[in-house]
Amino acid sequence: MGAPPGYRPSAWVHLLHQLPRADFQLRPVPSGFAPQEQEYQQALLLVAALAGLGLGLSLIFIAVYLIRFCCCRPPEPPGSKSPTPGGGCVTWSCIVALLVGCTGIGIGFYGNSETSDGVSQLSSALLHANHTLSTIDHLVLETVERLGEAVRTELTTLEEVLEPRTELVAAARGAQLQAEVVAQQLQGLAFWQGVPLSPLQVAEDVSFMEEYRWLAYVLLLLLELLVCLFTLLGLAKQSKWLVIVMTVMSLLVLVLSWGSMGLEAATAVGLSDFCSNPDPYILNLTQEETGLSSDILSYYFLCNQAVSNPFQQRLSLSQRALASIHSQLLGMERGAVRQFPSAQKPLLSLEETLNVTEGNFHQLVALLHCRGLHKDYGAALRGLCEDALEGLLFLLLFSLLSAGALATALCSLPQAWALFPPSDDYDDTDDDDPFNPQESKRFVQWQSSI
């Protein structure tokens, strides 16, 4: 099958497509794209479930680590103010983890933008294809209406005017028959007319879903960015309450990161299966949704020399009929204008209609060629299988870095706030403030000395 112009499956598509797949019973599943089959759906769900397994293991590891930290920590001597050994290492490990998380956030913003660009390219290709199909329908309708009007008015008037000349009447009737042939053949060119599947509706649905997907990821990225920044602020100011709140928020973002990782992994694997060989699935799906013949769909989706133009016969018949009408009008103009001056006006009107019809016919020939729609098909595949898939992989990397950084931070933060001095809640109070406990204590001592 011929690949669309400019599209070749990328190395990432080949790599992801070669990954093994299995259903819930761990039986191997073919990597061909078949979303309607239960085994393939189970294979993608199993890929997403791996992220759930990773989340469970992360939570177990964090819980075991914190329990060990709380229960196995040696007791401090009373009145000891010496810093805990390794305290600085714990704080710096938390800071480094949060900085890695910020780096992942930057990667996530880039991946979200790439995915959005790919989906926008898909929507633009669908809109351009819809414009082409609508233009074909419009040109066919306009031309058929013009020819029908010409048959009902000008050619009927010519028959009445040229009635004394039987050979001219026969020419007028012949032109009428040829005009009906052209109209009949042209009606069969509007192949998308009445089809329930609308590229415009598909483009609008895709754009609608993409807007919400893009917004959801932006909110997730901003949430994690705020968690990282406020956690760093709490560590810098040694504010225990801020670090505790950010620890709880880090746990929430950790769950969201693993969840998004599962969705991204399953989507990337399914998209790679589709992009490795998209033609068969697209052909079958479009034929089911539209009811069009496989000859027409193969011509536009494959567009190679092995597939002939299914409209070539209609175009050839229409072209011959238009040439016949032109010659008949020329013969009537030479033999009837001098003898029947009243025939000049309908003949001029017919010539104008014929010129417009020939212009529309040449536009139809160009639009019906497979190059235009096949180019839109290639642009849609490039947007989906290159930019969108690349963006998904960057989002997957963001989720992985985010999950690792937040898991490290959750292990380090409780140790970090345990190292904070017990008076951190009063760091920001003024020394002259009478409500400051230290100042109140000095005031009581001053009173007793008096």
| Residues 58-69 pLDDT 10s | 999 999 988 887
- In terms of average pLDDT, the best of 160-174, 299-313, 337-351 is 299-313
The more confidently predicted of residues 167 and 6 is 167
Residue 412: the pLDDT is 83
Residue 46: the pLDDT is 94
Contact 381, 4 (CB under 8 A): yes
Residue 88: the pLDDT is 61
Residue 350: the pLDDT is 86
DSSP E strand stretches across 227-287? none
Whole-model pTM: value is: 0.84
254 contacts: CB under 8 Å, gap ≥ 6? 55, 58, 402, 403, 406, 407, 410
The radius of gyration of the chain from alpha carbons, rounded to an integer in Å, stands at: 37
19 inside domain: no
Mean pLDDT of 295-304: 91
Taking the C-alpha atoms of residue 224 and residue 405, their distance in angstroms, rounded to an integer, is 11
Residue 446: the pLDDT is 45
Using 50, 70 and 90 to split pLDDT, how confident is the model at 5?
Answer: low
435 inside domain: no
- Residue 69 — φ and ψ, nearest 5°? -65, -40
Contact 293, 309 (CB under 8 A): no
151 inside domain: yes
Nearest to 45 by CA among 274, 272, 267, 275: 267
Contact 315, 363 (CB under 8 A): no
User: In angstroms, what CA-CA distances link 191 with 198, 207, 269, 377, 439?
Assistant: 13, 26, 35, 17, 89
Residue 448: the pLDDT is 55
Enumerate long-range contacts of 309-313, CB under 8 Å, 24 or more apart: 309/368, 309/369, 309/370, 311/188, 311/189, 311/191, 311/368
- Residue 162 — φ and ψ, nearest 5°? -95, 20
Using 50, 70 and 90 to split pLDDT, how confident is the model at 347?
Answer: confident
Mean pLDDT of 44-53: 94
pLDDT exceeds 70 at position 84: no
- Mean per-residue pLDDT over the chain, rounded: 85
Taking the C-alpha atoms of residue 406 and residue 101, their distance in angstroms, rounded to an integer, is 7
**Total residues found in the chain within this entry:** 450
Using 50, 70 and 90 to split pLDDT, how confident is the model at 427?
Answer: very low
Taking the C-alpha atoms of residue 161 and residue 384, their distance in angstroms, rounded to an integer, is 63
405 inside domain: yes
Residue 6: the pLDDT is 57
Q: Which of 158-172, 232-246, 383-397 has the lowest mean pLDDT?
A: 158-172
pLDDT in tens, 121-157: 999 999 999 999 999 999 999 999 988 888 888 888 8
The H-assigned helical ranges of 151-198 are: 156-161, 166-187
Residue 199: the pLDDT is 93
Residue 70: the pLDDT is 72
218 contacts: CB under 8 Å, gap ≥ 6? 112
Residue 435: the pLDDT is 46
Mean pLDDT of 82-90: 56
Q: What is the 3 state secondary structure string of 32-100? A: CCCCCCHHHHHHHHHHHHHHHHHHHHHHHHHHHHHHHHHHCCCCCCCCCCCCCCCHHHHHHHHHHHHHH
Residue 4: the pLDDT is 63
- Quote the Cα angle for 380-384-386, to 5°: 110
pLDDT exceeds 90 at position 104: yes
Contact 22, 46 (CB under 8 A): yes
pLDDT exceeds 80 at position 419: no
pLDDT exceeds 80 at position 428: no
Task: Calculate what percentage of the chain has a pLDDT beyond 70.
Answer: 87
14 inside domain: no
Task: Calculate what percentage of the chain has a pLDDT beyond 90.
Answer: 52
Helix axes 87-150, 166-187, angle to 10 degrees: 160
Residue 219: the pLDDT is 97
For 191, the domain range is 92-419
169 inside domain: yes
pLDDT in tens, 359-409: 999 999 999 999 999 999 999 999 999 999 999 999 999 999 999 999 999
432 inside domain: no
pLDDT exceeds 60 at position 53: yes
190 inside domain: yes
Number of structural domains, the chain? 1
Using 50, 70 and 90 to split pLDDT, how confident is the model at 443?
Answer: very low
